[in-house]
Amino acid sequence: MGSALAVAVVLAALIAVLLGVSPAALVATLGARFGPYAWGQVLFRATFLTFTGLAVALAFQAGLFNIGAEGQAVVGSLACAVVGAGLAPLPGVILLPAAVAAALAGGAAWGLLPGWLKARFGTHEVINTIMLNFIALAGSNFLMTRYLALPETVRTADVGASLPRLDNLVPGLHGSAVNASLWLALAAVLLAHAFLHHTAAGFKLRAVGRGLIQARTAGIEPGRRIMLAFALAGGAAGLVGTNFVLGYKHYYEDGFTGGIGFLGIAVALVARNEPLGIFPAALLFGFLAEAGLVVNTLLPREMVDVLTGAILLAFIVAERLRRRGGRDLLGGRRPNRAGGPEPPGAGAGPVLRGAAP
Amino acid sequence: MALATRGGARAPEVRLERITKRFGATLANDEASVRLEPGTIHALVGENGAGKSTLMRILYGLLHADCGRILIDGVETPILSPAQALARGIGMIHQHFMLVPVMTVLENIALGAEGLRGLRALPRARLARELAELFGHYGFDIDPQAHVADLGVGERQRVEIGRLLFRGARLLICDEPTAVLAPPEVRAFLTILRRFRDEGRTVVLITHKLGEVLEVADRVTVLRGGRVVGEMEGAELDRDALVRLIMGDAGAAPSRTAAAVPIGAAPSRQVQRAANRGEQPMLAARELTVRGAGGRVLLERVSCAVHAGEILGVAGVSGNGQGELSAVLAGRLRFDEGTLQLGGCHYSAGQLPDAWQRPALIPEDRSSEGLIGPLRLWENLLLGRTQEAPFLRRGWYTHRAARAWARPQIDRFSVTPCDETLTADALSGGNQQKLLCARELLRGRRLLIANQPTRGIDITSTAFVHTVLRDFRATGGSVILISADLDEILALADQVAVLYRGRLGAAAPRADLDVEALGRAMVGLVAARRSSG
């Protein structure tokens, strides 16, 4: 990751220079204006990205592409707001867990759908999840305008209880939106790690992700693992609702997701799909976004997107080079091509075998 | 153009001097030097991973040596690509043929031939004539207009050879050519090799089958660990001496004896194989039929049975339905007709036994069906065994406990290096196979289906796997051994049946076997008899 970052920094400097801005001025502005409030905002964004990054990473561990974190986040957040407002008279100690559970369940349900389709019919999850994103967004819009939004507004009713902002704890963060759902995000990451690496169910999930045929031959049914992976992933994305609805606005309105689902893919990639790497990666992208705002006067905000893309590209290339240096991960059986790296011990000649049924 | 003079049949003298080649940390060839004399059949022998294929791929231009040089007729000649090798008359046929199935023989041979460039049309008539002449000269009974897809394995191999001859190859490198052939085809192939040699060509035969070496080779070079450890010629060729050279010191040490590695039930139970006739078989298949895409019949009315303490050997050349047979008998593939009885439970078409009812299965391809390369050894051992793993507490485990559980299993099955934290793809083929055997045999099932369990692994590992299978049988387990290696079947099996084009012949006891007839049945020369009920 270090070299990828270095490349990104160089690229940022290059872009700045091309746009007539001195990198030194950028750094100075950042240093001057990036105060505790900004850090609070970084944490706030990182909370979102941790949830969606986890949503993508968990699915990837099972060999699945979850492009639907956006839609899963919407469904989870909407469920969270509806339950939170619907149970309003109840005390917080009941209402909050119920709302969190609703966020989890809503996202999980929306994730289970493509999971089931894949397990039952073998349909490709990329297509399913992307389409379900559209359905979620449109569906939410419909439900809001027809049933759920308060009259004359575009938002739902207030929830009965909320998660406290962290600036109660750390006064320096005053005004920033980071709230107690940050703890939830960290807990989720730790739980995900424990699940993947220390439970039998997590082991089977990873096995299916690394070798579906081998796992099936050894007796593991892939279908159930796929559905579990997607349910967990969807649930993680749904927890986004705790940050937005319970911790920040206290209601739900359309459009807040604004691409965090897709940015979650970037986070998962940089974290190499390991839960423990998700939070640092989320911090990175959160920082980029906030820094973009801070130096807004000097550099257009869109440059943040350019930088994000640059980092991703650099990272992917670095990963490739790192892998190529060692053995081919899949047992080293590749067709003979002049000059290509050859695996040792292939004494019986090149074996061009496709995956057996 | 008369073929005998195409390029001239006399081969050049080729010398490989001090060839060194590394792959990452592995030294595949260590200052290996070989002299290939014209008009000889030169065998390169050694265990898998000894560096024989690597050395020849360097000669053929597929790989570049790190150090060393190639001399052709005394002149140093760098060969940087197969095209350059072919231009100098060096050709290579591989174990998996580089033919395009949908094209005809003629088109395949024309692929890449000289003089056929750009927009010119194929001179089909001329090519057809020359090919007919070539095939006739060598007695290849192949129609140049036939589609490769319709040809059998032996015929395809001859097309490969024909292609090289057509390009004027004078030095032919054959990499494990008989691995895909049944015994009668092997004999025909060896005859062809002798023909080439008599014409003055050089044949390099890479093989681990010493029987063939003793039959045709004029000179033998033995490789071990990337080095040339010995050369032998003509009269002094001796099997024991060869084995000693191939295995080095390891050959002297006795492999683990049966008493040291009991698997499964207590070994005190002496099980007479014949006595189990009266008991219910561990597995009985009746008229199993499996259909694939488009209704194609993959297995046709297969019937067989195996009892406790018995090994049923299924002989057959690769590609006759072995994969489907192993999958369906192991309860992992649904069949369309017939019935399957496993350990007392009956299953009919469309049903699959539960996971705990299924036999253990050693699949044919250890790297794409058996082990998961990026996962560690202890994780691979755990695959599919989480129900029975003792270190799991309510579904949770620590890595330390898992590794401690795995270590003795790895040691028991002689997997080296004995490090459970390595990834599976870091092991050699022989060790990967041993790991796979460990996982399957330690599942505690009484029935094991083994599909090509010693494919492509070294002699020591092969001996170990055979010992393990015999131990399993001795404790009352049953094995269905599916193998293309007739020697292996004859060494291990109590009953033998032949699988040909999806049909399984009746099983005959080992004692009653006519090996010649067996070989013919494997090629379909004798129609496989249906089993009677």
Q: Do A330 and B426 touch (CB under 8 A)?
A: no
Residue A81 backbone phi and psi in degrees, to 5: -65, -40
Residue A357 has pLDDT above 70, yes or no: no
Residue of B38, B52, B16 lying closest to B196 (CA atoms):
B38
C-alpha dist (Å) from residue A245 to A101, B99, B149, B416: 13, 63, 63, 56
- In a shared domain, residues B169 and B67: yes
What span, in angstroms and rounded, lies between the C-alpha atoms of A280 and A292? 18
Sign of the torsion formed by the C-alpha atoms of A176, A180, A181 and A183: positive
Q: From the list A217, A219, A338, which residue is nearest B61 (CB)?
A: A338
Name the residue with higher pLDDT: A175 or B39: B39
Q: Do B395 and A326 touch (CB under 8 A)?
A: no
Q: State how far residue B345 is from chain A, nearest Cα, in angstroms.
A: 18
Q: State how far residue B377 is from chain A, nearest Cα, in angstroms.
A: 12
Which residues in chain B have their CB less than 8 angstroms from residue A353's CB? 365, 368
Give the pLDDT score at A10.
82
Burial class for B53, CB neighbours closer than 10 Å (0-12, 13-18, 19+): buried
Burial class for A89, CB neighbours closer than 10 Å (0-12, 13-18, 19+): exposed
Does A151 sit behind a cis peptide bond, omega within 30 degrees of 0 on the bond before it?
no
Exposed e or buried b per residue across B444-467, where buried means at least 16 C-beta atoms within 10 angstroms of its C-beta:
ebbbbbbbbbbbbbbbbbbebbbb
Q: Hey, what are B499's tokens?
A: 């699988």
Helix (H) or strand (E) holding A186: helix A181-198
Among B81, B376, B382, B383, which would you mutate to test the A interface (most chain A Cβ atoms within 10 Å of its Cβ)?
B383
Which residues does B121 contact at the CB level (< 8 Å), separation at least 6?
Answer: none
Q: Do A331 and B373 touch (CB under 8 A)?
A: yes
C-alpha dist (Å) from residue B486 to B154, B181, B517: 17, 11, 12
- In a shared domain, residues B450 and B438: no
What span, in angstroms and rounded, lies between the C-alpha atoms of A119 and A117? 6
pLDDT band at B114 (very low <50, low <70, confident <90, very high): low
CB of B428 within 8 Å of any CB in chain A?
Answer: yes
C-alpha dist (Å) from residue A228 to A67, A208, A213: 16, 12, 18
Q: What is the CATH number of the domain that holds B240?
A: 3.40.50.300
Give the pLDDT score at A221.
85
Q: From the list A197, A200, A211, which residue is nearest B392 (CB)?
A: A200
| End position of a domain, from candidates B251, B269, B289 | B251
Tens-place pLDDT, residues A317-326: 877 777 665 4
- In a shared domain, residues B233 and B281: no
Least confident of A57-61, B188-192, B218-222, B455-459: B455-459
Instruction: Tell me the three-class secondary structure of B13-32, residue by residue.
Output: CEEEEEEEEEECCEEEEEEE
Q: Do B383 and A332 touch (CB under 8 A)?
A: no
Residue of A342, A354, A211, A272 lying closest to B424 (CA atoms):
A211
- Asked whether residue B42 is domain-assigned, the answer is yes
- In a shared domain, residues B300 and B397: no
Exposed e or buried b per residue across A306-325, where buried means at least 16 C-beta atoms within 10 angstroms of its C-beta:
ebbebbbebbeebeeeeeee
Whose structure tokens read 């590209």? A313
Tens-place pLDDT, residues B251-266: 433 343 333 333 443 3
Q: Do A346 and B53 touch (CB under 8 A)?
A: yes
Which residues in chain A have their CB less than 8 angstroms from residue B28's CB? 344-345
Q: What is the mean pLDDT of residues B185-194?
A: 88
**A-B contacts at Cβ under 8 angstroms:** 154
What span, in angstroms and rounded, lies between the C-alpha atoms of B418 and B396? 25
CB of B359 within 8 Å of any CB in chain A?
Answer: no
Least confident of A160-174, B268-282, B299-313: B268-282
What span, in angstroms and rounded, lies between the C-alpha atoms of B506 and B495? 10
- In a shared domain, residues B193 and B267: no
Q: Do B52 and A347 touch (CB under 8 A)?
A: yes
Q: From the list A217, A337, A341, which residue is nearest B363 (CB)?
A: A217
- Asked whether residue B364 is domain-assigned, the answer is no
pLDDT band at A344 (very low <50, low <70, confident <90, very high): very low
Summarize chain A as % helix, strand, coil (round to 5).
70, 0, 30
- In a shared domain, residues B388 and B484: no
What span, in angstroms and rounded, lies between the C-alpha atoms of A155 and A255? 11
Whose structure tokens read 């991703």? A312
Give the pLDDT score at A323.
67
Residue of B210, B179, B188, B212 lying closest to B485 (CA atoms):
B179
pTM, rounded to two decimals: 0.73
Instruction: Tell me the three-class secondary structure of B117-141, residue by residue.
Output: CCCCCCCHHHHHHHHHHHHHHHCCC
Q: Do A220 and B94 touch (CB under 8 A)?
A: no
Exposed e or buried b per residue across A7-35, where buried means at least 16 C-beta atoms within 10 angstroms of its C-beta:
bbeebbbebbeeeebeeeebeebeeeebe
In one letter, which amino acid is B314? V
Among A195, A203, A204, A319, which would you mutate to test the B interface (most chain B Cβ atoms within 10 Å of its Cβ)?
A203
Which residues does B40 contact at the CB level (< 8 Å), separation at least 6?
Answer: B197, B202, B203, B218, B219
Q: Do A357 and B323 touch (CB under 8 A)?
A: yes
Q: Hey, what are B241's tokens?
A: 């001496």
Within 13 Å, how many C-alpha atoms sit on residue B134's CB side? Answer: 29
Q: Do B96 and A207 touch (CB under 8 A)?
A: no
Which residues in chain A have their CB less than 8 angstroms from residue B386's CB? 200, 203-204
Which residues in chain B have their CB less than 8 angstroms from residue A204's CB? 386
The three-class DSSP label of residue B47 is: coil
- Asked whether residue B451 is domain-assigned, the answer is yes
Which residues in chain B have their CB less than 8 angstroms from residue A216's CB? 332
Q: Hey, what are B422's tokens?
A: 């390595």
* Domain count for chain B: 3
- In a shared domain, residues B171 and B202: yes
Other Cβ atoms closer than 10 A to B413: 26
Helix (H) or strand (E) holding A225: helix A222-238
Strand partners, B230: B222
What span, in angstroms and rounded, lies between the C-alpha atoms of B492 and B481? 9
In one letter, which amino acid is B147? H
Q: Do A217 and B355 touch (CB under 8 A)?
A: no
Cβ contact B499:B483 at 8 Å? no
The three-class DSSP label of residue B334 is: coil
Q: State how far residue B183 is from chain A, nearest Cα, in angstroms.
A: 19
Cβ contact A240:A73 at 8 Å? yes
Other Cβ atoms closer than 10 A to B224: 20
CB of B379 within 8 Å of any CB in chain A?
Answer: yes
Q: Do A349 and B428 touch (CB under 8 A)?
A: no
Q: State how far residue B407 is from chain A, nearest Cα, in angstroms.
A: 18
Tens-place pLDDT, residues B212-250: 888 899 999 999 888 899 898 878 888 888 888 887 765
Q: Do A215 and B61 touch (CB under 8 A)?
A: no
- Asked whether residue B141 is domain-assigned, the answer is yes
> What count of residues does chain A have?
357
Which residues in chain A have their CB less than 8 angstroms from residue B365's CB? 353, 356
Residue B347 backbone phi and psi in degrees, to 5: -130, 140
CB of B79 within 8 Å of any CB in chain A?
Answer: no
Cα nearest neighbour of B355 on chain A: A219
CB of B430 within 8 Å of any CB in chain A?
Answer: no
Other Cβ atoms closer than 10 A to B33: 15
| End position of a domain, from candidates B444, B471, B492 | B444
Give the pLDDT score at B278.
65
Q: Quote the DSSP letter at residue B374.
A: T
Cα nearest neighbour of A201 on chain B: B395
What span, in angstroms and rounded, lies between the C-alpha atoms of A282 and A42? 9
Which residues does A121 contact at the CB level (< 8 Å), separation at least 6?
Answer: none
Q: From the list B49, B63, B369, which residue is nearest A347 (CB)?
A: B49
pLDDT band at B325 (very low <50, low <70, confident <90, very high): very high
Cα nearest neighbour of A341 on chain B: B23
Tens-place pLDDT, residues A121-157: 999 999 999 999 999 999 999 999 888 888 888 888 8
Q: Hey, what are A156's tokens?
A: 């739902």
Q: State how far residue B409 is from chain A, nearest Cα, in angstroms.
A: 17
Q: From the list B28, B82, B395, which residue is nearest A338 (CB)?
A: B82
Q: What is the mean pLDDT of residues B82-109?
A: 84
- In a shared domain, residues B507 and B407: no
Residue A87 has pLDDT above 60, yes or no: yes
Q: What is the mean pLDDT of residues A9-21?
A: 79
- In a shared domain, residues B352 and B331: yes
- In a shared domain, residues B210 and B276: no
Domain ranges of chain A: 50-164+177-282
Which residues in chain A have their CB less than 8 angstroms from residue B94's CB? 336, 349-350
- In a shared domain, residues B354 and B376: no
CB of B386 within 8 Å of any CB in chain A?
Answer: yes
Residue ranges of the alpha helices (H) in B99-182? 105-110, 124-138, 153-166
Q: State how far residue A219 is from chain B, nearest Cα, in angstroms.
A: 5
The three-class DSSP label of residue A118 is: helix
Q: What is the mean pLDDT of residues B421-431?
A: 86
Cα nearest neighbour of B352 on chain A: A219
- In a shared domain, residues B235 and B341: no
Tens-place pLDDT, residues B464-477: 999 999 999 999 89
Q: What is the mean pLDDT of residues B290-314?
A: 90
Q: State how far residue A50 is from chain B, nearest Cα, in angstroms.
A: 24
Containing structural domain, residue B202: 3-251
CB of B120 within 8 Å of any CB in chain A?
Answer: no
Among B368, B392, B461, which would you mutate to test the A interface (most chain A Cβ atoms within 10 Å of its Cβ)?
B368
The three-class DSSP label of residue A128 is: helix
Cα nearest neighbour of A330 on chain B: B373
CB of B373 within 8 Å of any CB in chain A?
Answer: yes
Least confident of A34-38, A141-145, B67-71, B336-340: A34-38
Q: From the list B52, B367, B370, which residue is nearest A333 (CB)?
A: B367
Which residues does B214 contact at the CB level (< 8 Å), separation at least 6?
Answer: B237, B239
Q: From the list A215, A333, A338, which residue is nearest B383 (CB)?
A: A215
Residue A264 backbone phi and psi in degrees, to 5: -60, -30
Tens-place pLDDT, residues B126-158: 888 888 888 888 888 888 888 888 887 778 888
Q: State how far residue B362 is from chain A, nearest Cα, in angstroms.
A: 9
Q: From the list B23, B94, B369, which residue is nearest A213 (CB)?
A: B369
What span, in angstroms and rounded, lies between the C-alpha atoms of B525 and B317? 13
